[in-house]
Structure 1
Amino acid sequence: MAIATLGAVVLDCPDPLALAEFYASLIGGTAEVDEEGRWADLEGHGGTRLAFQKAAGHVPPQWPSAEGSQQFHLDLTVEDLDAAEEQVLALGAKLLERGPADRDWRVFADPVGHPFCLCAC
């Protein structure tokens, strides 16, 4: 028997609303921010809740680096890897690793440096 269920994945960032809006453009949903701007939730995207917490002095993880460990990343499934890459780059993502042409995934960083992968179906 499980002890708990996953309630949310929370990302530290300098601007919770801006990062929530980036992910809303990427996976759908609507960004909702608290009155103080310290916390934002991504609502209505149909998956595990994503939340964004203001972190003073946020230092983005490094990909790949033993010294600036990524700690975790999101794998996002797409149908057309090339089209999805073009769209996330237009939203402000940065390509970190494409690798050989036969790979079915690519690594990106969101606008504040959290790594995520686009993975072909």
Structure 2
Amino acid sequence: MSKLRNGFIVLLAVFGFAFGSLSSVSTEAQPVRTAEAATTAQQITKINSTLSAKNKAAKKWIAMRESGRSYTAKNGNCYGRYQLLRSYLHYNYTKVNQEKTANKYVAGRYGSWTKAKSFWLSHHWY
């Protein structure tokens, strides 16, 4: 009985070491992904920092209507959160590029996100 108990304890120690090693590896890898996500979020915040509250709300509204706010939405030759032509995005589908390109597109075509929303309301596209 004592040999069985000692064997069981050794087995538990081996499993504990194995799982402890695996969890420390995954714990070390996690902050890298979190830092990358934070960097993207910070870049997007900076890109949109010059927009007024009304323009931010209009941008969010358009994103919801166009893609359900998905950065990977596809519709023919349109892609992403703002359903821009793939060529406008220069086939760079990153979140940061989508945000920058959408702001440039709307500024050039409509002047502001609120004006783009007004256009969308009367035409059901922008």
TM surpasses 0.5: no
Structure of higher RCO (CA pairs closer than 8 Å, 6+ residues apart):
1
Task: Calculate the TM-score normalised by the size of structure 1.
Answer: 0.23
Structure whose residues are more often strand by fraction: 1
